[in-house]
Amino acid sequence: MQNKKNLSIVIPVLNESNNIQLLTDKIIKNLKNIEFEVIFVDDNSNDNSYKILKSLQKKYYFFNPIFRKKERDLTQSCFEGIRKSKFDKILIMDGDMQHDPKYILPMHNKMNKLNCDIVVGARPLSKGPNQGLSEIRRLASNILIFFFSIFEMKTSDPMSGFFIFKKDIYLKNKKNYFGKGFKILADILINSKNNLIVKDFFIRFKRRYDDKSKMSLKILMILIKFYLISIFKKLLSFF
């Protein structure tokens, strides 16, 4: 039986030693009357992250870090955190302080109230001010969403990295996922066989502390590959 008052929070991190303690404190402050665990998945950082994570693990019973030594990949970090989570609802969020923990409980409540499969922390990507989201990033996100609009995404922001979903979705569909890059939500929405009920919860981004983007030429090429494979699978489904 599912427990409506539990949540596993999976946070992939790479060299986020300046943010780990602060983000943990904010999560604790904003989650009341709910049982939760925090799973930082460290993707083989070369800063002080290991020491900080081990210290927090000793301090908090709900703190369960994972230390990856394999090839760095944000999606695989998320998948590893999901596999080792103990609750039936999973929240994915970034560790760079752009996703404000104050939204976690309202998103969790919306999932329970509407009995939906996924609640997306959707960015308002229409032209206009959006704290923490530069005009270039807003435009890039809109372009990606346009290209992926060929698929029935059921959300206004399939490129979001901040969402809650039922763990059972991953367990039933894990063999179908592309599993590379860092657009895990798009992967889940496109390649899950379930008829998913998806709802948006609109948020505002906070400014990135270190001002470093995860996007790179390598990630862009992986994203293009994912897009082409997804189109190919969609075409095959018509035959």
pTM: 0.85
Distance CA 142, CA 121 (A): 16
Amino acid code (one letter) for 189? L
> For residue 126, what are its two tokens?
């229409």
pLDDT tens, residue by residue, 140-159: 666 666 666 667 778 989 88
Q: For residue 6, list its beta bridge partners.
A: 35
Residue 143 confidence (pLDDT): 67
Residues 51-92: pLDDT tens digits? 999 999 999 999 999 999 988 889 999 999 999 999 999 999
Residue 192 lies in a domain: yes
What residue numbers bound the domain in which 67 lies? 6-236
Q: Residue written as tokens 């929405």?
A: 189
SS3 at position 9: strand
| 70 part of a folded domain | yes
Residue 1 lies in a domain: no
Residue that has been written with the tokens 């059921």 in this structure: 154
Whether 211 has a pLDDT exceeding 50, the answer reads: no
3: number of Cβ within 10 Å: 11
More confident: 233 or 160: 160
Find out whether 165 and 181 touch, Cβ atoms under 8 Å.
Answer: no
Confidence bin at 214 (pLDDT 50/70/90)? low
* Residue 134 located in a structural domain: yes
| 150: in domain | yes
Q: Which residue has the higher pLDDT, 211 or 230?
A: 230
Residue 120, in any domain of the structure: yes
Q: What is the mean pLDDT of the segment spanning 41-58? A: 97
Q: How many domains does the chain have?
A: 1
CATH number of domain containing 226: 3.90.550.10
pLDDT at 1: 44
Contact residues for 218 (Cβ-Cβ < 8 A; gap 6+): none
Is residue 221 a part of any domain in this protein?
A: yes
Q: Strand 89-92 relative to strand 6-13: parallel, antiparallel, unpaired? A: parallel
Q: Is the pLDDT of residue 192 over 80?
A: yes
Residue 68 confidence (pLDDT): 96
Sign of the alpha-carbon torsion through 195, 84, 225, 97: positive
In single-letter form, the type of residue at position 213 comes to S
pLDDT tens by residue, 166-182 = 999 999 999 999 888 66
Residues 6 or more apart whose Cβ sits within 8 Å of residue 126: none
pLDDT bin (cut points 50, 70, 90) of residue 205 is confident
Burial of 84: CB neighbours in 10 Å, binned 0-12, 13-18, 19+: middle
**Per-residue confidence (pLDDT) for residue 112, from 0 to 100:** 95
Q: Is residue 57 part of a domain?
A: yes
